[in-house]
Amino acid sequence: MTELSQERAPIYEALEKFQKMRIVPFDVPGHKRGRGNPELTALLGETCMQMDVNSMKPLDNLCHPVSVIADAERLAAEAFGAAHAFLMVGGTTSAVQSMVLASVKRGEKIILPRNAHRSVMGALVLCGAVPVYVNPAGDKRLGIPLGMRLSDVRKAIEENPDAKAVFVNNPTYYGICSDLRSIASLAHEHGMLCLADEAHGTHFYFGEGLPVSAMAAGADMAAISMHKSGGSLTQSSLLLTGPAMPAGYVRQIINLTQTTSGSYLLLSSLDISRRNLALRGREAFGKVIEMAGYAREEINRIGGYYAYSRELVNGDSIYDFDVTKLSVHTRDIGLAGIEVYDLLRDEYDIQIEFGDLGNILAYLSIGDRQRELERLVSALSEIRRRFSRDKASLMDYDYIDPVVILSPQEAFYADKESLPLKDTAGRICSEFVMCYPPGIPILTPGEQITGEIIDYIRYAKDKGCSMTGPEDARIERLNVLRGV
Ligand SMILES: Cc1ncc(COP(=O)(O)O)c(C=O)c1O
């Protein structure tokens, strides 16, 4: 192995060397360095097409890395303070699912907050594990789920001593963190693993004054969306593991569902982005924190909006807050978050990350500039002037406690029938229903449907939330268990 330092990008360097070798391709991909698909080459550029190659000896193999990919993983592990890092090309969904599949099997319990991403619930359908939900505390005014209270996690652990793992969002989409250090210690004291979804926390590893990262907090595994705040290409992610996890076994689990044709565009983007974060991350995220602070102040000055931050911290359900997240409560101007989200795009050509019933999230990262933030602030100010209305027309959002009757796997594969949404109250759902983003299920297979849930789905549809999950894409019908 050549000497490795964070200045290096082994996959990218190998690709550059490979280009110079002018090897004749009688292998896949069939576009043959772009020649066979001129339109695509015109769109993506020759460099991109020439780098879209298959695994081969000089470039290593993602399923069983021994050279440049292994080196890149070692560098990533070092940069993130992990025992091992796995490069992932199937999004953070694949990292989350590998984490869960490596921890629990059919019939085993996993403790998790109900506001976990759909990828977690999908993993439960795949492996047959049983969720034990800790209800995240809710903020009544903001209408958002918060973090898990330590006392609630302790109670879940004590009531389910046979559970194998505790799963934590670090942070939530809105930027809220649970007390991950204490949760990890508690899990370990009871012989359980601690898993962290850090889809929205890549920058925690590289910033000053940000919440603790999963690896620093002692978690056993963390799923990291490098393609979100880390700046790599969409769909590229990392799975980090701590010293207690057997890396060979985790690799076997990853290989159960991972492609055998890992994209070198994604792999080299991970390599280059890790180098960038390791060398310049602190400075870059320092600027992001400053910009977010500035935007928050300006938005709060408009009146009506509430751009929240660390003042929410309460030492428990909001143990910490990620100040790079520009989360804004919109209900006091009489508009649902999703309405502001649509207005920003349709009237002001501004695309934000998501809007829910009461909030919007503008995602800030290393590519943002002050001048775009000024545009966002002035658009929000105009929206208030032009479109605000009486907030009485908005529905109050309350956390809906799920009633779990069956495991997600049993319900998903059970004998089922399709019913009009209005006729499903009291029945057991056999599919997912969620607004995307944020992708937090309103219903998960195996849960009882209630009138309150039906009203919520209808309201979210009326407000224009993008809904997904059910077989019926219009969400007018739901699959429920037959005869139950
Ligand atoms: C909390 C959380 N976990 C996991 C994911 C999955 O990430 P990906 O879209 O990269 O598969 C997301 C996506 O937004 C997410 O918000």
pTM: 0.95
The ligand 1 atom nearest the CA atom of 90: 11
The ligand 1 atom nearest the CA atom of 96: 4
What are the residues whose beta carbons fall under 8 Å from the beta carbon of 364, sequence distance 6 or more?
288, 291, 292, 295, 324, 325, 326, 373
The answer on pLDDT for 392 being more than 80 is no
Rounded Cα distance between 171 and 438, Å, is 13
Q: Give me the chain's average pLDDT, please.
A: 94
- Among 114, 117, 121, 238, the mutation site with the greatest number of ligand 1 atoms within 8 A of its Cβ is 117
Give the pair of three-digit tokens for residue 268.
Answer: 């080299």
Give residue for tokens 């508690």.
Answer: 186
Closest to 104 (Cα-Cα) out of 77, 132, 82, 83: 132
User: Where does the pLDDT of residue 140 fall: very low under 50, low under 70, confident under 90, or very high at 90 and above?
Assistant: confident
pLDDT in tens, 174-207: 999 999 999 999 999 999 999 999 999 999 999 8
Report the separation in Å between the CA atom of 80 and the middle of ligand 1, taken as the mean of its atom positions: 19
Instruction: Name the residue with higher pLDDT: 401 or 134.
Output: 134
Report the separation in Å between the CA atom of 227 and the middle of ligand 1, taken as the mean of its atom positions: 10
pLDDT attached to residue 90: 98
Of all protein residues, the one whose alpha carbon is nearest to atom 13 of ligand 1 is: 199
Interval 240-267 mean pLDDT: 98
Report the separation in Å between the CA atom of 354 and the middle of ligand 1, taken as the mean of its atom positions: 13
Report the separation in Å between the CA atom of 470 and the middle of ligand 1, taken as the mean of its atom positions: 19
| Residue 307 backbone dihedrals phi, psi, to 5 degrees | -90, 105
Closest to 344 (Cα-Cα) out of 331, 355, 333: 355
Residue 413 CB neighbours (<10 A)? 12
- The proportion of the chain whose per-residue pLDDT surpasses 90, expressed as a percent, equals 88
Rounded Cα distance between 393 and 395, Å, is 7
Q: Which residues line ligand 1 (CB under 6 A)?
A: 91-93, 96, 117, 119, 169, 173, 197, 199-200, 225, 237, 439
Rounded Cα distance between 123 and 138, Å, is 25
Rounded Cα distance between 259 and 75, Å, is 23
User: Where does the pLDDT of residue 430 fall: very low under 50, low under 70, confident under 90, or very high at 90 and above?
Assistant: very high
Residue 481 CB neighbours (<10 A)? 19
Residue 42 CB neighbours (<10 A)? 11
The ligand 1 atom nearest the CA atom of 94: 11
Pick the range with the lowest mean pLDDT from 91-95, 105-109, 312-316, 400-404. 400-404
pLDDT attached to residue 1: 47
pLDDT attached to residue 394: 61
Give residue for tokens 């809906």.
Answer: 400
> What is the chain's alpha carbon radius of gyration, rounded to the nearest angstrom?
23
Rounded Cα distance between 76 and 85, Å, is 6
Report the separation in Å between the CA atom of 195 and the middle of ligand 1, taken as the mean of its atom positions: 15
The ligand 1 atom nearest the CA atom of 116: 1
The ligand 1 atom nearest the CA atom of 172: 1
Q: Is residue 329 helix, strand or coil?
A: strand
Report the separation in Å between the CA atom of 303 and the middle of ligand 1, taken as the mean of its atom positions: 32
Report the separation in Å between the CA atom of 12 and the middle of ligand 1, taken as the mean of its atom positions: 26
The DSSP letter of residue 357 is S
